[in-house]
Structure 1
Amino acid sequence: MNYQRSSALFKEAEQYIPGGVNSPVRAFKAVGGTPIFAKRAQGAYVYDEDDNRYIDYINSWGPMILGHAFKPVVDAVINRTKQGTSFGIPTALETEIAKLAVSMVPNIDKIRFVNSGTEACMSAVRLARGFTKKDKIIKFAGCYHGHSDAFLIQAGSGAVTFGSPNSPGVTKGTAKDTLLANYNAIDSVKSLLAANKDEIACVIIEPVAGNMGCIPPKANFLKDLRMLCDTHNIVLIFDEVMTGFRLAKGGAQELFNVNADIVCFGKVIGGGLPVGAFAARHDIMNCLAPLGPVYQAGTLSGNPLAMAAGLEMLKALNSDQAIFNRLEEKTKYLHKGIEKVLRNHAITHTINRLGSMISVHFAEDEVVDFETAALGNNDRFKQFFHGMLNEGIYIAPSAFETWFISDALTYEDLDFTIAAVKNVVKRL
């Protein structure tokens, strides 16, 4: 494929934007080469500035469940724009979408809209600390909850040690209150609780990990985590920025029948526009200002464009009872097709899948956490990524990101993707 214009645009962007991108993964640093620049998108496809067409498995990192430029969302944004883009004053739209979201998701009574998944998770942790009057939090190695200081912590020398900052600008003081457990290892959580009695405010987790590739929770892992939190008076936070409204109408809580105390959402709740939200039952949410002492605010929170888009997205998901089955069947079809090709060509691999999330790990053993995900053959992934890109398939430019399936994908698109895998692995 020809990437001439994308290459030129990247060189120009590097002069004015750090690294030429406004989010690091877009720079292709993990896979090498020059990123493509998107020009437009429609349905299952994204087109770059050189007019190359790609079947899109990123889908804006999850929210485009119904495909790009979904007409009801586009029409809602256009119509709302004509009435003004931002007010800093309450609108009826905010209540309308809040009411719908609360009706769709189990175990929540109230919701607060913010501007990103990062902001939602940051606010949820602050709320949990204010509610419990405790300071320390537990997160899981490999789970990503945005770039708030408290989450940019790497593991220490053992499961019960404090983490340390893995980004300059994050203080040691912040790091000391963030404890690292291992995903799918309930004993690592128990060890942290034993070493930090009555100090843990919350446990935050991606109920299905998506930032070390797709990694589903082991049987009973989430239920055991729920029981531990109940026993120790700890707030359980589900970061459903990826899984919310994607794995089921009520997200991972519904799918696994496990209730979190606070749930965080991302762009899907705004139809792909810049938005996030966090939600909980009355007694927790009533701790938020202006009702309670925990402060959280945002001039653009509940932005009318995002609310209009999100309302149409949630209405569509809420009214289509079959969509989640369709998404799962398409993902299963893709899984089987890719697996057959990789096996026929003796390519070492593990494929993880849950609902409409899937990832290909070039690893020999089962991938259950960050440590096992890191054992994958990254050089092979780089070759695979660029091979797929040249075949017209756009997957995440990192071995540690899940693929997202959209309902706009046809079975012809899936067959095209499987054929592309076959072409690529012949050259691996």
Structure 2
Amino acid sequence: MKSYGSSEELFLRAKKVVPGGVHSPVRSFRSVGGTPVFFQAAKGPLLTDVSGKEYLDYCLSFGPLLLGHRDPEVEEVVRETASLAWSFGAAEPYSLELAEWIVSRIPWVEKIRFVNSGTEAVMSALRVARAATGRNKILKFDGCYHGHLDSLLVKAGSGLAGEASSDSAGIGSELIGNTLVLPLDDESAVAELFAREGKNIAVLVIEPLPANYGLLVQRKEFLQKIVEIARSHGALVLFDEVISGFRVGLRGMSGELGIRPDLVTYGKIIGGGFPVGAYAGRADLLDLVAPQGPVYQAGTLSASPFGMRAGLATLVKCERENVYSVLEERTKRLTDGLLAIFRKYDPDSDWSVTAHSSLFWFHRSTPSPIRTVDSIPNGHKEAFANVFHLLLTEGIYLAPSGYEVGFTSLAHTSEILEKTFDLAEKAFKKNKV
């Protein structure tokens, strides 16, 4: 491997030419402190940093690597693709194969359009919803993240229910004036807002499994009720399954809940680790998209042959090998084992874990399940940062933020889990000396 120097040296260089030294904020380690680790290689469950040190990876590029890094079957397809083409900017058969595979397995996906990211997918789906309804307003929820689109990078304001305020500099009030924000887990607030604004709301958008501000598992009854309320007022329902789609199961959270959204967005796994997003749903809604309809959306690099072929290879293997039940069992084993170690060496902190399928999130114990941002215990950020660095030192890599979730993959075998427990035990023992 090429010699790059240390992570510290690279970070100093990066800060001179890149904002904050990184190309996405969470990579900076600002939430946990310290210097970000610069990685140069990955394979299976392992990351290798620029100094040659290996880490067991439970971030997995924030979710898409359901099979682990460079799964042999997927890598073979990627290598073959590199010998065929890198990009077309034209029609090709690979996106058709992936589209047909997805449409044939998910009843509410009647048509699908591939884009390059989750943000782009949500942006496009919202445009379709506005065109279909002739309405302008959007309802979103605190604790759900839908990408860095101006109209959705907002939080609840301090005034009347539903008001929003910018969650980023550079977003003017005119850009968020049509965005309404409510807390999660509150059906009555949704009912009250629709009673007042229902005729103006084009779409209710929500992560059915919020996984960007901790893992805020929602009650099925809440999700069913808000969908019912939205539809009773003529609004569309958009499920953002960029993270949960094809990770919690072949049909995502929509399938698990038995709720058929009008529109759904995907990303992460459908690209097999390559940059891919998609918006999909009812055929009559997708037929509004150009060139068939009046809703314009385009992308020169959309449906990259690498993402299309790697994504299909990933999904085919997931279906064939019943990956989801395997990962659910491994995730439970991982979280139970780590939780026992946390509590053994840090008994006063009363650690707990929320897990769903192959996603997990460690946090302080609370009297009831954490379903809203306001329910996250005080001091969580600092407590997580301490644990993060303890584990990092011994070679366990978690997402560098207490508000990001962790993931397991098919590459996290029983042997890897045992190694994880050994390293975690070692880390906490050292801290007690």
Q: Deviations over 1:69-105 (max 9, x none)?
A: 0122222222222222112110011111100011222
The residue that corresponds to 2:130 in the other structure is 129
Q: Deviations over 1:322-375 (max 9, x none)?
A: 211100001111222223233444222231111001000135444211111263
Secondary structure of residue in 2 paired with 1:341: helix
The residue that corresponds to 1:220 in the other structure is 221
Alpha-carbon distance change, 224 to 424 in structure 1, aligned in 2, over 3 angstroms: farther
Which one-letter code corresponds to 1:389 in the other structure? Answer: L
Contact conserved, 2:364 with 2:377, CA < 8 A, in 1? no
Shift of 1:122: 0.9
Shift of 1:403: 0.4
Which one-letter code corresponds to 1:392 in the other structure? Answer: G
Tell me how far apart the structure 2 counterparts of residues 62 and 377 of structure 1 sit (CA, whole Å).
22
Aligned length: 425
**Does 1:403 find its partner at 2:398?**
no
Among 360, 369, 393, the residue aligned to 2:362: 360
Alpha-carbon distance change, 373 to 159 in structure 1, aligned in 2, over 3 angstroms: farther
Among 372, 386, 390, the residue aligned to 1:387: 390
Among 417, 421, 425, the residue aligned to 2:420: 417
The residue that corresponds to 1:323 in the other structure is 323
**Does 1:117 find its partner at 2:118?**
yes
Q: Deviations over 1:266-288 (max 9, x none)?
A: 12111110110010011111111
Tell me how far apart the structure 2 counterparts of residues 178 and 157 of structure 1 sit (CA, whole Å).
14
Contact conserved, 2:37 with 2:49, CA < 8 A, in 1? yes
The residue that corresponds to 2:250 in the other structure is 249
Secondary structure of residue in 2 paired with 1:101: helix
Secondary structure of residue in 2 paired with 1:216: coil
Tell me how far apart the structure 1 counterparts of residues 160 and 401 of structure 2 sit (CA, whole Å).
26
Shift of 1:209: 1.1
Secondary structure of residue in 1 paired with 2:328: helix
The residue that corresponds to 2:50 in the other structure is 49
Instruction: List runs of 5+ in structure 1 lacking aligned partners.
Output: none
Shift of 1:158: 5.0
Q: Deviations over 1:302-326 (max 9, x none)?
A: 1112112112112212222x21110
Shift of 1:415: 2.7
Tell me how far apart the structure 1 counterparts of residues 172 and 377 of structure 2 sit (CA, whole Å).
26
Contact conserved, 2:198 with 2:235, CA < 8 A, in 1? no
Secondary structure of residue in 2 paired with 1:220: helix
The residue that corresponds to 2:22 in the other structure is 21
The residue that corresponds to 1:297 in the other structure is 298
Tell me how far apart the structure 2 counterparts of residues 232 and 197 of structure 1 sit (CA, whole Å).
5
The residue that corresponds to 1:336 in the other structure is 336
Which one-letter code corresponds to 1:55 in the other structure? Answer: L
The residue that corresponds to 1:94 in the other structure is 95
Which one-letter code corresponds to 1:266 in the other structure? Answer: G
Which one-letter code corresponds to 2:356 in the other structure? Answer: L
Tell me how far apart the structure 2 counterparts of residues 161 and 105 of structure 1 sit (CA, whole Å).
33
Secondary structure of residue in 2 paired with 1:174: helix
**How high is the sequence identity, in percent, across the aligned residues?**
39
Q: Deviations over 1:44-81 (max 9, x none)?
A: 11111111111111111111000100122222222222
Larger displacement relative to structure 2 (311-320 or 251-260): 311-320
Secondary structure of residue in 2 paired with 1:198: helix
The residue that corresponds to 1:373 in the other structure is 376
Shift of 1:376: 4.3
Tell me how far apart the structure 2 counterparts of residues 305 and 315 of structure 1 sit (CA, whole Å).
15
The residue that corresponds to 1:157 in the other structure is 158
Tell me how far apart the structure 2 counterparts of residues 32 and 363 of structure 1 sit (CA, whole Å).
23
State the TM-score, normalized to the length of structure 1.
0.95
The residue that corresponds to 1:69 in the other structure is 70
Describe how 1:135-146 pairs up with structure 2 within 5 A: 135-146=136-147
Secondary structure of residue in 2 paired with 1:414: helix
Secondary structure of residue in 1 paired with 2:114: strand
Which one-letter code corresponds to 2:106 in the other structure? Answer: V
Tell me how far apart the structure 1 counterparts of residues 296 and 162 of structure 2 sit (CA, whole Å).
30
Which one-letter code corresponds to 2:358 in the other structure? Answer: S
Instruction: List runs of 5+ in structure 2 lacking aligned partners.
Output: none
Tell me how far apart the structure 2 counterparts of residues 409 and 280 of structure 1 sit (CA, whole Å).
33
Contact conserved, 1:361 with 1:376, CA < 8 A, in 2? no
Which one-letter code corresponds to 2:359 in the other structure? Answer: M
Alpha-carbon distance change, 24 to 288 in structure 1, aligned in 2, over 3 angstroms: same
